[in-house]
Amino acid sequence: MGKPLTIQLEDDKRLEALKGPLGARTKVEVLRRALDSLEEKLRRHARAARWMRAARLVAGESARVNKEFQKHSHLKKS
């Protein structure tokens, strides 16, 4: 058996209202889905932060390489 959780009346109504649209049988299932959703959002946020950091680290070299390619471009107007 898990630990008891005290829920405010307004929150209880919100949980009940979400059971139907989510197809959840219990309020605990609604809470678990909400926690799963929050955890996934945090993982996406952390992944985006890693990508932004990586992009900042290579930005200078990337700009240098792009500039070098532009010098030899066949599409360049003369």
Is the pTM here over 0.75, yes or no?
no
Q: Residue ranges per domain, the chain?
A: 9-70
- pLDDT tens sequence for the chain (78 residues): 788 889 999 999 999 999 999 999 999 999 999 999 999 999 999 999 999 999 999 898 888 888 877 776 666 665
Distance CA 57, CA 44 (A): 20
Q: What is the pLDDT of residue 66?
A: 81
23 DSSP assignment? T
Rounded (5°) CA angle 44-46-47? 65
